[in-house]
Amino acid sequence: MIKTKQKKGRKIMWAFIYIGVFLAAVGIGIASKFVQPSWTKDFTAEWNDLVGTVYKDIPYGEKDANKFDLYVPADNTKENYGLVVYLHAGGFTAGDKSGDEQILKWLCYKGYVAAGINYTLRDEAHPEASVYSQSMEIKESMPIVIAEAEKLGYYIDEMSIGGGSAGHCLAMLYGYRDAETSPVPVRMVFGAVGPSSFYPEDWGCYGLNQNTEESKEAAAGLFSVMAGKEITSDMFGTPEYDEAIKDISALLWIDENTVPSVLAYGKHDKVQSFEASVRLEKALTEHNVPHEYIVCEHSGHGLQNDNKEFHLYNQKMEEYLDKYMPVK
């Protein structure tokens, strides 16, 4: 009995260690600062009233974090507008829409209505928050974002969605899982370094691929936190596991109707699974989904060591927007 309790205690300890490392590491994520390359000026807007107007902290729900910022172009004479949503990074535990002002202003400068949306973070005040609950808040926000834009005279008839890290994960879930129920058609998804699936054998960045009892328990603990439901180690490798984890796994929603996608990943990512992105690209290819999969061969989660590839990601993001959701 004592040995059994000690064994169980070790499993719980390892689960919490891995959970803590993951959440702390992703919280740092791509927030690290580095010198901005010269090409970033092509994705920056000089903001003034002639470009657009920002409406901040518009509520979409009852929770404290249920707020969004809306960027609308100065030209309000068009019959319809495309909406581009960008979701912030922060490892599901930190971050704020205000950190994405540059890309949101640039999108508005291009002629889109742009929105940055906050979601309830997993922290001491909200230990119940999960990737699933955050994805549902994003889903529930969308009709309100669109309705608010229409109140201002901007009628939305289509949308695209993107994000970084945790925001990319949530963007893929909306674009792949929730596209059929979206108030307007989703045209494309874009983002960098977002987790897309949760198979322990892919998560060597935390040693979850070791196929030991401890690593399996640690994986079950981490993925339970992310899914907001109990995952047990005996579920791994079964159809039951795929069903249990499907709600937070963008990979498992890909089919021939999946929207075009632009993706960037760092080959040496120690924060989330690069191997999962290989699965993602394979699924997109097998289902003939138009996509760009850009691998930063010398970078980790921040993509900071591959300037050429990171530039290419931004170029492809703009190219796909222009192709699949051109400004009217």
Domain annotation for the chain: domains and CATH numbers: 2-324 (3.40.50.1820)
| pLDDT tens by residue, 156-209 | 999 999 999 999 999 999 999 999 999 999 999 999 999 999 999 999 999 999
pTM confidence score: 0.93
Alpha carbon 312 to chain centroid, angstroms: 19
Kindly report the average pLDDT of the chain as a whole number.
Answer: 91
Q: Are strands 67-73 and 52-59 parallel, antiparallel or unpaired?
A: antiparallel
Cα 188 from Cα 231, distance rounded (Å): 31
Reply yes or no on whether the pLDDT at 141 is more than 60.
yes
Angle of the 131-151 helix axis to the 213-227 helix axis, nearest 10: 20
pLDDT band at 31 (very low <50, low <70, confident <90, very high): very low
| pLDDT number for residue 20 | 55
Reply yes or no on whether the pLDDT at 10 is more than 50.
no
| pLDDT tens by residue, 51-104 | 999 999 999 999 999 999 999 999 999 999 999 999 999 999 999 999 999 999
Reply yes or no on whether the pLDDT at 29 is more than 60.
no
- Taking residue 18's Cβ as centre, other Cβ atoms within 10 Å add up to 24
Nearest residue to 164 via CA among 20, 19, 301, 325: 301
Nearest-5° Cα angle at 287, 282 to 291: 65
| pLDDT number for residue 299 | 96
- In which element (H, E) is residue 91 found? none
Cα 115 from Cα 46, distance rounded (Å): 18
